[in-house]
Structure 1
Amino acid sequence: MITHPLAGPQTPGLHLLYVPSVVALITFQGYFSQYLFNTSPDLRPGPLTFRENVTFNALLLCLWWTYYKACTVDPGRFVFSPSSDKKEEDKDDQKPTQNKRFCKKCQAFKPPRAHHCRHCARCIPRMDHHCPWTNNCVSLTTFPYFLRFLLYTNIALVYLSSLLYTRISVIWSDRHLPSYLGPSLFSLISITLLCLANFGTFFALFILLVTTLKSWVMNITLIEMWELDRHNALISKISSSSSNDYWTDDFDPASLSRIEFPYDLGFFSNMSQAMGTANFLRWFLPVGGGGPKLADQKKGGLGWEYEENGFNDWEGMWPPPDMEKERRAKQGGWAYKKQGQQEMPDDYYYGGEDIKAAFERRQQEDFARRRRIQQLQGQSGVIRELEEDEDEREWTGKTGWKNSDGDRLWDYGVDEDVEDDYVARERVVGDGDDDDDDVPLAELIRRRKVLAKQEDDT
């Protein structure tokens, strides 16, 4: 069973237990603690005061409401107009090169900062990660509610810690007295369980709150942090002395330059954009705080495009392409064209027949691998290793790059099968052609019809 601090265990069916588990944990710590404090006279300093009851239950009310909003607010859904493809093509004409991504499952272009969530089964605007504990994506529209939930939860846990501390300190000071003068066994067991639950929950949620605050201030999602780590690791690998034999002859690593993260606009602008308002008095309101809305595509705006800081040569360079994935996929049909190169590589696709031939080639390679497995039936160790590898792909998708914490995009809820599907990108500015690999055949045919029509009109 594979676990991740954000995604939780990836066991089928357990996703139905995440939200009930959170509800049970809040109920246990929030209300059983009050029952214990108010009905156990042997726990000094005695029942909660009126002020303590009001404060604690007010925090619980804010916690419940913000958790409900974090679970129920729609993470956003892109609705593409018929002219959306034409608008994307017009944008490409304005920039020398652009990382334009196509989602094969949504059959549409992915706007900047969007990713296809394998749980929500759609592309999510400004996707941060899919949180199983809310059964919802943390996205453009849900981030403020998720942040408020974490904030009020941590405040409530700190307040509960103070209530527990006053009673634990009394028990510790009376530890040398006869046991019949101290709290009952039920009280001791209950307060011990509350302390353990409080410590474990606060430890996990405080780390998550700090990470979320960092994302908020820097205007960077967890997925983009992962992409930035991957890009920096690639730059380091290229600059190392051992990188000469790492790349194929069809690609010059020197042509890849560092790409700066473009969406950091300054801490106040970052925070205002994420919360949907520049009025900081509304940022932490549990009721009426609101959040940003996904703009209408026809009008353009937030969710479809994002302001950039201008540190890169041109807009639209993020995310950096996964060169490692492209290098591994080179034999499967990726095409590169260096500046000044006149002949295309042998695996470049000229039309539908070439795409069909490439598919048949990959199918034959898969058949050859299956025959190899059959030939190794007598070698149980090898077979077991191959079967475990198959199980890993079944549960976690294709093998991809991992950061220093061992995280993959899969761990954040991203569907890796449709990630980094770039189209209309030239490796070198100049006379390069578009990379059409992995673009659906219907989309390629549609493009060719558009080009043919434009040629007829001219």
Structure 2
Amino acid sequence: MAAPAAPEEDEAWELSPHSSEAPSDKYGPTTEAHVVDAYPGPVPPVRPRAPPRPSEVVIAVIVLMVFLHITPQIFIMWPYFRKTPSFTARQLICVLAVHNLLVVYMYVAYYYCLTTDASGVPMGWTPPSHGSHKRYCYHCRAFKPPRAHHCRVCRRCVLRMDHHCPWIGNCVGHGTYAHFLRYTTAVTLATWNHLLMIALRVVDFWSVYDLMPRPSTTEAVMIVLNIILCLPPALLVTFLTLYHYALLCSNTTSIETWEKDRVSRQIRRGQIPFIAFPFDLGCWANVTQVLGASPLIWLWPCHAPAASGTSFPVASAEPDAQYLWPPKDPRVRRRAPRLTGSAFTYGHEQLNPQLRASHAKSPQFQTRAAWHASAPHDVPRDEAMYDSYSSGSGEDTDDDVGSGQVRVRRGSEGLEVRPPQYSRVLWEEAGAEAFPPGTEPPPEERDPNHEYVPGHAYPHGTFAEYG
């Protein structure tokens, strides 16, 4: 579902020393010459965006809301009013007024969920230079503020990301979380009021006669359809709303609940020292941080968060506590840069020339491949820097083991098994004597004062070509 627009503080950007023009917006560059200060290399030429809205799911949600809004009034309550003299016009107006007010508020909240930006990381944002715990996104090639995570659907990092909601076609983040809560609350109240109204009609609540007016075929069909289409959303959204109210009171996102469980488990096992969740300030402070300082504006659909979303108050006395969460998992290796020119790779050595990506001929893929070919692929080497947990965690991985072992790569298209590199093992055991004279040695054994000319200095090729 959605949230308010990012505040003006996030509008700030910094020009890279390699660029003389300002970017067109705060989430992406306008030219390949622009360089993000946080990363010494060109940024992707295409600005990451969320998928276009409305999508098929969003259209289906809108159709369902309109159906449950219009049909009970025209095909159920109005015919019942005409058949039941004891059901007065004043009672009909009161019943339909409550129904329409709740549904209209739901429409407004849903509109803001759809159209409000979830708040991306401002261009050029960098963590404090004195900090020792920096979070880096290898997809966006930039630093991540506290509580920000990368969304693989929107293809960018989102501030205070909770989750990506397909029902609103948008991320639930810093800019949209308050709108999301208002929308789910409105859906909960509107659906239960709708079911109550239909139930009172079925039991003939407003009739003073002993004989219940018989519904027509159209009325009966509409009553059944309204109950079938309204009851599941009412139950599911009610549980979802209560869950998020519990998260709101503890100032926790859905991603952070998983992080807290993982950290608690690692603390119990003695893998990391004790660390407390730093963002829980108490129930009242947590609620006001998201919905606003005054209860009078909590239900106002246009209200946007006042904070920037790049820093948050903490309950700890440590001023940099927000940058220390989540603690680095000691079992996770720092991920090395990954080339994207092919569907499969052989670790850090070369691309597999036999297997090509199925989308390699698309213009977007060729543009990215050209950019990757020209961009420097070295990433920050600070050991305190890591790519923390995000919604895009289900990625292809390479099991890069020793050269004398079988290598297995798990990818979206299956498994690729590469036999051991026997040439490397042979060179380590027997040296150059195991290869024809004039074979190029491994890079670490080359003569630095000798310039290598392919086909001349080593006419028999490289040792790697022999197995």
TM-score category of the 2 structures, normalised to the smaller one: 0.5 to 0.7
Identity of aligned residues (%): 28
Q: CA deviation at 1:122?
A: 1.3
Name the counterpart of 2:248.
216
- Which structure exhibits the higher relative contact order, with contacts defined as CA atoms closer than 8 Å and separated by 6 or more residues? 1
Residues matched between the structures, number: 300
Q: TM-score, normalised by structure 2?
A: 0.57
Provide the C-alpha distance between the structure 2 equivalents of 1:282 and 1:89, rounded to a whole number of angstroms: 34
- Confirm or deny that 1:278 pairs with 2:278: no
Name the counterpart of 1:62.
105
Q: TM-score, normalised by structure 1?
A: 0.58
Question: Which SS does the other structure have where 1:90 is aligned?
Answer: coil
Structure 1: which amino acid aligns with 2:315?
A: N
The one of 141, 148, 173 equivalent to 1:114 is: 148
Question: Which SS does the other structure have where 1:40 is aligned?
Answer: helix
Provide the C-alpha distance between the structure 1 equivalents of 2:70 and 2:249, rounded to a whole number of angstroms: 34
Q: CA deviation at 1:212?
A: 1.3
Instruction: Map Cα deviations across residues 296-336 of structure 1 (whole Å, 9 max, x no partner).
Output: xxxxxx32211111177961221133345x1xx48x879xx
Name the counterpart of 1:144.
178
Q: CA deviation at 1:24?
A: 1.0
Name the counterpart of 1:304.
310
User: Residue 187 and residue 265 in structure 1: after superposition, are their counterparts in 2 closer, same or farther (change >3 A)?
Assistant: same
Name the counterpart of 1:375.
none
Q: CA deviation at 1:234?
A: 3.4
Whether contact under 8 Å (2:345, 2:351) holds in the other structure is no
Name the counterpart of 2:284.
268
- Confirm or deny that 1:34 pairs with 2:40: no
Whether contact under 8 Å (1:43, 1:183) holds in the other structure is no
Larger radius of gyration: 2
User: Residue 43 and residue 206 in structure 1: after superposition, are their counterparts in 2 closer, same or farther (change >3 A)?
Assistant: farther
Task: Kindly report which structure 2 residues correspond to 1:311-326, keeping only aligned pairs within 5 A, or say none.
Answer: 315=321, 316-324=323-331, 326=332
Q: CA deviation at 1:91?
A: 2.8
Name the counterpart of 1:292.
305
**Structure 2: 5+ residue runs without aligned partners?**
1-50, 338-343, 356-387, 396-467
Q: CA deviation at 1:197?
A: 1.6
Instruction: Map Cα deviations across residues 239-295 of structure 1 (whole Å, 9 max, x no partner).
Output: 6xxxxxxxxxxxxx3xx12322110001111111112x3111111123x4x12146x
- Confirm or deny that 1:234 pairs with 2:247: no
Name the counterpart of 1:79.
122
- Confirm or deny that 1:91 pairs with 2:130: yes
Whether contact under 8 Å (1:78, 1:125) holds in the other structure is yes
Structure 2: which amino acid aligns with 1:18?
A: V
Provide the C-alpha distance between the structure 1 equivalents of 2:122 and 2:279, rounded to a whole number of angstroms: 24
- Confirm or deny that 1:416 pairs with 2:429: no
User: Residue 264 and residue 105 in structure 1: after superposition, are their counterparts in 2 closer, same or farther (change >3 A)?
Assistant: same
Whether contact under 8 Å (1:19, 1:133) holds in the other structure is yes
Structure 2: which amino acid aligns with 1:33?
A: P
Question: Which SS does the other structure have where 1:183 is aligned?
Answer: coil
Q: CA deviation at 1:360?
A: 8.6
Task: Kindly report which structure 2 residues correspond to 1:353-368, keeping only aligned pairs within 5 A, or say none.
Answer: 362=347
Q: CA deviation at 1:217?
A: 1.1
Question: Which SS does the other structure have where 2:55 is aligned?
Answer: helix
Name the counterpart of 1:25.
64
Provide the C-alpha distance between the structure 2 equivalents of 1:204 and 1:104, rounded to a whole number of angstroms: 35
Structure 2: which amino acid aligns with 1:155?
A: L
Q: CA deviation at 1:30?
A: 1.1
Structure 2: which amino acid aligns with 1:223?
A: I
Instruction: Map Cα deviations across residues 339-388 of structure 1 (whole Å, 9 max, x no partner).
Output: xxxxxxxxxxxxxxxxxxxx997256997xx9xxxxxxxxxxxxxxxxxx
Q: Which has the higher helix share?
A: 1
Task: Kindly report which structure 2 residues correspond to 1:183-202, keeping only aligned pairs within 5 A, or say none.
Answer: 183-202=215-234
Provide the C-alpha distance between the structure 1 equivalents of 2:142 and 2:136, rounded to a whole number of angstroms: 6
Structural RMSD (CA): 3.7
Name the counterpart of 2:191.
157
Q: CA deviation at 1:37?
A: 2.2
Whether contact under 8 Å (2:53, 2:114) holds in the other structure is no
Provide the C-alpha distance between the structure 1 equivalents of 2:54 and 2:329, rounded to a whole number of angstroms: 30
User: Residue 160 and residue 91 in structure 1: after superposition, are their counterparts in 2 closer, same or farther (change >3 A)?
Assistant: same
Name the counterpart of 2:27.
none
Structure 1: which amino acid aligns with 2:162?
A: D
Structure 2: which amino acid aligns with 1:218?
A: S
Provide the C-alpha distance between the structure 2 equivalents of 1:360 and 1:117, rounded to a whole number of angstroms: 24
Name the counterpart of 1:389.
none
